[in-house]
Amino acid sequence: MDIRLGNGFDVHAFEKGDHVILCGVRIAHDRALKGHSDADVAMHALTDAILGALAEGDIGAHFPPSDARWKGAPSSIFLRKAAELVRARGGRIANCDLTIICERPRLRPHIAAMRENLAAILKVEASRVSVKATTTEQLGFTGREEGIAALATAAIIIGD
């Protein structure tokens, strides 16, 4: 049995707008996240964690931002592809853990929906998907509300 861990980290800056998309959940806010795709910083970090566990490069290698196909694309495309790569290797996702770092918007009311969304995309039970939110106590770029950061870990088991 081959047990593999991967980590992922991502940051997106705020720009003008009226909502953010985190783990596929649309959350009303007084700003939006800037990015080539839907800028779902949380899903990007998790995608990178899974790709990292497989040692299959990173999200930018699989989905180059220079490719017009990914403009405005839902980030579920990227996460679904990472999960498919796990299955193609005869593996399964044991668990994943995601921490989203921002002062605002408040994420707690959305955590359950985020977990359900990610679990459905990954084709695992929600009990294997953790989503947490924290702040940096108003310190640094997340504290100044310049953007949102996300940190993810994924554990994958290949073989029986």
* Residues making contact with Mg ion (CB under 5 A): 10, 44
The nearer residue to Mg ion, 133 or 148, going by C-beta atoms, is 148
The nearer residue to Mg ion, 10 or 133, going by C-beta atoms, is 10
Smallest distance, Mg ion to C-beta of residue 77, A: 13
Smallest distance, Mg ion to C-beta of residue 63, A: 10
The nearer residue to Mg ion, 4 or 10, going by C-beta atoms, is 10
72: left (phi over 0), alpha (psi -120 to 50) or beta: left
Smallest distance, Mg ion to C-beta of residue 43, A: 9
Distances from the Cα of 97 to the Cαs of 28, 30, 126, in angstroms? 24, 27, 11
The total number of residues shown for the chain amounts to 160
The nearer residue to Mg ion, 35 or 91, going by C-beta atoms, is 35
Residue whose C-beta lies closest to Mg ion:
44
The nearer residue to Mg ion, 10 or 122, going by C-beta atoms, is 10
* Bridge partners of residue 7, in order along the sequence: 153
Burial label, 50 (beta-carbon count in 10 A; 0-12, 13-18, 19+):
buried
Q: In this structure, are residues 47 and 153 in contact, taking their beta carbons and an 8 Å threshold?
A: no
Smallest distance, Mg ion to C-beta of residue 132, A: 19
